Amino acid sequence: MNDAHLLSVDELKAIFPKRWKVSEWSKCSKPCGGGEKSRKVDCKQVMAQNHTVDRPASMCPSPKPSEKKPCNAKSCIVESDKPHISVTNSTFIQHDVRKDKVTVKVGGAATLFTGTTVKIKCPVKRFDKSKIQWKKDNNFLPQSRKYKSSKKGALRVHNLTLRDSGTYSCTAGKSSANISITVRPKPGEFPTSEEIQKQVQLDVTSGRNSGKARGKAIYADDQSHEQRPDGSKKKEVKTFTPVSTSPSLTLDEYRLDSKTTAISKNK
């Protein structure tokens, strides 16, 4: 009689096991800043004479070996206590009143229209840009709806007004750079008396009014409270008129042009 018998499933599994086959780990995808290594993980069954056959992953034991792992998690930024800030010495002047967003870089100066949102870049190397601090006229600027600093260190100043004129500086470690920004009204728009007073104070602080104001635009304040001899009030007129004056011009000479503000009795 033939003593041969069929092998059971368990016996077949023991003779031809299924197991995970893994390859070597690859090189890290990044030298720093958090990279990743990878490898191949396949389910194989070893047959006679070490012949292997691919099998579905569900046929191999759990858990499946990992195919990826992190590497080189050290930061790429090697901070310096005095990093280099790239500056430009150019002057930017906004001409297009329809352009409501402008980007400039520290160094030099910029003249912008009211209502504009300006982005000021502070290009720095070997420093964590999220740690850049901003000042306006030597006063630190807090994060707010008006002033916003990005993770890349840029400052956005929204909806410029005359009060936003001044010197903006970025500080990275022991390094700093600045840009002088002047805000002016759009053509056809006129500032309020409060804005004029603020601008005058800025001019005095920066030394721009040194007695040489020849040909400079003088903004008219609201003098609608003044009365005529007959008891009627002058009509309120908001305007500005370039005035040619002598070098002895002083701040109290901000005045109305009588030819401009005079109202004809016929009207």
Residue 76 lies in a domain: no
More confident residue, 245 or 64: 64
Q: Which domain, by its residues, includes 14?
A: 9-71
With cut-offs at 50, 70 and 90, classify the pLDDT of residue 141. very high
- Residue 82 in domain: no
For 195, the token pair is 């804005």
Does residue 167 lie within any of the structural domains? yes
Phi and psi based region of residue 138 (left: phi greater than 0; alpha: psi -120 to 50; beta: remaining): left
Summarize pLDDT for 121-139 with one digit per residue, the tens.
999 988 889 999 999 999 9
Mean pLDDT of 108-122: 96
- For residues 108 and 180, membership in a common domain is answered with yes
Statement to judge: residues 131 and 201 lie in one domain: no
pLDDT at 176 over 70: yes
% of the chain with per-residue pLDDT over 90: 46
Q: Answer yes or no: is 123 within a domain.
A: yes
The domain boundary residue, chosen from 18, 42, 71: 71
Kindly report the CATH number assigned to the domain that includes residue 115: 2.60.40.10
Please name which of 93, 95, 148 lies closest in space to residue 120, comparing C-alpha atoms. 148
Residue 219 lies in a domain: yes
Please report, as a single letter, which amino acid is at residue 42: D
User: Pairing between strand 217-219 and 52-54?
Assistant: unpaired
Instruction: Please enumerate, as own/partner, the contacts of 87-95 that have beta carbons within 8 Å and a separation of 24 or more.
Output: 87/177
80 lies in some domain: no
Q: 95 and 170 in one domain?
A: yes
Number of domains in the chain: 3
Do residue 60 and residue 98 come from a single domain?
Answer: no
Same domain, 104 and 159: yes
C-alpha angle with apex 76: 74 to 81, nearest 5 degrees?
Answer: 110
154 shares a domain with 110: yes
Residues 114 and 32 in one domain: no
Strands of 117-121's sheet in order across: 101-105, 117-121, 155-157, 147-149
Residue 215 has pLDDT above 70, yes or no: no
* 266 is a domain residue: no
Q: What is the mean pLDDT of residues 206-233?
A: 43
Q: Is residue 4 part of a domain?
A: no
**Do 21 and 53 share a domain, yes or no?**
yes
Residues in Cβ contact with 139 at an 8 Å cutoff, skipping those fewer than 6 apart: none
Domain boundary among 184, 217, 245: 184
On whether both 96 and 155 belong to a single domain, the answer is yes
Q: What is the mean pLDDT of residues 15-42?
A: 91
- 181-196 pLDDT tens trace: 999 999 887 766 666 6
Pick the more confident residue, 227 or 151: 151
| Domain match, 170 and 109 both | yes
Q: Is the same domain home to 104 and 131?
A: yes
128 and 152 inside one domain: yes
